[in-house]
């Protein structure tokens, strides 16, 4: 059962909103290559605020994601794209319905 997750809140620099959206859309391919990340969402919360929600079966999967290619790309692009460093919060999943 999926019990662990991460939520990253990302605030785009002025004029970088489209680039952030494209960066996150490209992240889907990397997420699909992560066998320990069964759930991954890229989100637009407002015109300038974005988010990533991903969930994991266990702590090992969550840690693998935090040290994987998506996290590395996010941190490499952070100074150019984001108004402040990404806020990444570990969270607990209390319930899940996934009927895709």
- The pLDDT score that the predictor gives to residue 98 is 83
**pLDDT by residue (tens digit) across 48-93?**
999 999 999 999 999 999 999 999 999 999 999 999 999 999 999 9
Residue carrying the six token digits 């402040």:
84
- The pLDDT score that the predictor gives to residue 100 is 66
Q: How confident is the model at residue 96 (pLDDT cuts 50, 70, 90)?
A: very high
User: What percent of the chain has a predicted confidence (pLDDT) above 90?
Assistant: 95
Domains of the chain, start order = 4-91 (3.30.70.100)
pTM of this prediction?
Answer: 0.91
- From residue 79, alpha-carbon distances to 21, 70, 83, 84 in Å are 16, 15, 8, 8
Start-to-end C-alpha separation, the chain = 16
């Amino acid at each position: 059962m999926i019990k662990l997750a991460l939520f990253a809140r990302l605030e785009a620099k002025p004029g970088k909103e489209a680039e952030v959206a494209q960066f996150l859309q490209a992240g889907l391919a990397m997420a699909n290559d992560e066998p320990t990340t069964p759930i991954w969402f890229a989100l637009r919360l407002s015109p300038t605020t974005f988010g990533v929600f991903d969930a994991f079966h266990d702590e090992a999967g969550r840690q693998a994601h935090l040290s994987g290619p998506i996290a590395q790309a996010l941190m490499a692009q952070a100074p150019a794209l984001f108004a402040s460093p990404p806020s990444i919060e570990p969270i607990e999943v209390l319930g899940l319905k996934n009927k895709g």
